[in-house]
Amino acid sequence: MSVRRPTVVVALLALTMLLTGCNAGSTAVHPSAGPGGGIRTDVTVAVAAEPVNLDFRVTSGAAIPQLLMNNVYETLVKIDQDGAVVPLLAERWDVSDDRTQYTFHLREGVTFSDGSTFDADDVVASFDRVRTDWLNAIKVKMDVVESTVALDERTVRVTLTQPSNAWLADLGTSVGAVFPSDLDGVDLRTTAIGTGPYEVFSVRQGDRIVLAGRPDHWGGPAAMTTITVRYLADPTSAVNALRAGDVDLLFNSATGDQVRQLEARGGFQVVEGTSTGDVLLSFNNRVPPFDDVRVRRAFAYAIDRQAVMATASAGYGTQVVAMVTPQDPYFEDLTGVYPYDPDRARVLLAEARASDLQVTFDVPNLAYATTAAELIASQLAEVGVRVRLVTDEFPAVWLDKVFTRHDFQMSVIQHSEARDLLTVFRPDYYLGYDDTVIAPLAAAADAGTPQEYVDGMRQVARQVVDDAGGIVLYLAPTLIVADEALTGIRPNAVTESMDLTQLAWR
């Protein structure tokens, strides 16, 4: 890899932005200004959940890769809008007859945002660091990699310990992100160096992150000079900003009811797409009362999931029970496993000697979560369960208390990582699920034929649902409301990424 050019000082960039005015420093005029106005080259996007830093290698949660993947960091392969694996930094790849060796042929003319040249050494270093440096739980997706070797500057060979049906698609998520091989002196919590069409321009904690378009991107100059991502946790504030023209696009930052109101009002485009966002009622399987499967199943029967989706998402979304999306090859409709049945819930609670039960419900201060939690608490009250609601600031408090220290009984959060069934239901994850039964089933499925993979993973999903390790309330949609003149909106969130790479103004 070539020598890195000096990094621009963020403070200087921020000062420049303040001096040049609003809209992230752009002086372009919106087309609606009339004859003589130029096409805008800036856009402002509103998002609810803010990253705590920029390093998804050591910090879990969807907020960081949502912003950075595809926009700043890229992978060898990409998951397209239909869920297919397509080339990105690798132009093509070959697979050995025994399916244990992948030879990637890398794209030429690619540079990182610091000016250094992308080559095979960067891929080797990035894949090796997953095992040595990563703390994020999704690192398990690379456990099947035995070695990564640079055959020459443009060719990389990855050897797996066994055939894997899942690995190539996993490579299209954040675990496959390619960083420079030389990261000496680089703090990735505050600096992001990727090959994508945008780079991090400035960070104003608690407010916004600005991305600058790269004119030297290998795929051509970025369509926007600047993308300002504003973090507005309050949906009403986000909607008001859109109406005032301070924001051009709401990305999953308005409630379903607000989206319907905006759609009826007119003047905006509403885009609904698929997502990987399972809204999960999380149980701490390690502690009472949720160390008893009868209690977990009782809660599954006590909750009217359709009503929760109708209330929290205004009916937008899809009813699923397992953490498997309809786009996954092993999807199976299991919604009939736990019908809404309060009487059955009461019987199970009586069997578990938990008829007079009180639980603490840690709820992140996100609109869908707080709305869902209130309804869930009232439904549980109907079967004799008293719920104490505790609001946790997201992400800082919730990530520390619930996710990191496992100091909770019950919580609710949207998990946006693609194909995360095996990531979430592990003993070392925050739910503390005992995977003794499913681990060998999953390993055999991954190493088997494509049909054995489908059959085996369906068996895994059924087992997790039967154990009620957590309850998927619904699969959240991607809901976008935007200025009518904005094009290039990617409706489907097929990974955790909020892909802004095609945004442009008419």
User: Per residue, what are the HEC states of 355-371?
Assistant: CCEEEEEEEECCHHHHH
CA distances from 10 to 62, 135, 203, 204 (A): 24, 27, 8, 10
> Is the same domain home to 327 and 441?
yes
State how beta strands 410-415 and 357-364 pair.
Answer: parallel
CB 280 within 8 A of CB 373: no
Half-sphere exposure of 330 (CA within 13 A, CB side): 25
- Of 157, 184, 211, the one marking the end of a domain is 184
- Of 135, 156, 184, the one marking the end of a domain is 184
CA distances from 324 to 95, 140, 293, 338 (A): 27, 18, 21, 16
> Is the same domain home to 51 and 104?
no
| Distance separating the N- and C-terminal Cα atoms of the chain | 38
Q: Does 29 reside within a domain? A: no
> Is the same domain home to 300 and 361?
yes
Q: Does 442 reside within a domain? A: yes
- Per-residue pLDDT, 39: 87
CB 77 within 8 A of CB 168: yes
Q: Does 8 reside within a domain? A: no
The CATH number linked to 59 is 3.40.190.10
> Is the same domain home to 465 and 490?
no
> Is the same domain home to 90 and 61?
no
Digits of tens for pLDDT over the chain (506 positions)? 444 444 433 333 333 333 333 333 333 333 333 334 578 999 999 999 999 999 999 998 889 999 999 999 999 999 998 889 999 999 999 999 999 999 999 999 999 999 999 999 999 999 999 999 999 989 999 999 999 999 999 999 999 999 999 999 999 999 999 999 999 999 999 999 999 999 999 999 999 999 999 999 999 999 999 999 999 999 999 999 999 999 999 999 998 999 999 999 888 999 999 899 999 999 999 999 999 999 999 999 999 999 999 999 999 999 999 999 988 899 999 999 999 999 999 999 999 999 889 999 999 999 899 999 999 999 999 999 999 999 999 988 999 999 999 999 999 999 988 899 999 999 999 999 999 999 999 999 999 999 999 999 999 999 999 999 999 999 999 999 999 999 999 999 989 999 999 999 99
Place of tokens 């990564």: 148
Cis peptide before 329, with omega less than 30 degrees from 0?
no
- Of 184, 219, 247, the one marking the end of a domain is 184
Q: Does 21 reside within a domain? A: no
> Is the same domain home to 411 and 296?
yes
Radius of gyration of the chain measured on its C-alpha atoms: 23
Q: Does 189 reside within a domain? A: no
> Is the same domain home to 289 and 361?
yes
> Is the same domain home to 255 and 309?
no
Q: Does 441 reside within a domain? A: yes
- Per-residue pLDDT, 416: 87
> Is the same domain home to 86 and 149?
yes
> Is the same domain home to 127 and 91?
yes
The CATH number linked to 304 is 3.10.105.10
Domain count across the chain: 3
Which residues, 6 or more positions from 382, have their beta carbon under 8 angstroms from its beta carbon?
302, 342
Q: Does 296 reside within a domain? A: yes
Give the global pTM: 0.81
> Helix, strand, coil shares of the chain as percentages rounded to 5?
30, 25, 45
> Is the same domain home to 336 and 444?
yes
Copy the structure tokens of residue 398.
């919730």
> Is the same domain home to 439 and 414?
yes
- Per-residue pLDDT, 22: 33
Q: Does 22 reside within a domain? A: no
Supply the DSSP string of 93-142, one letter for each residue: EEE-TTS-EEEEEEPSS-B-TTSPBP-HHHHHHHHHHHHHT--SGGGGGG
Helix (H, G, I), strand (E, B) or coil at 476: coil
Provide the domain limits for residue 218: 40-72+196-267+484-505
The CATH number linked to 102 is 3.90.76.10
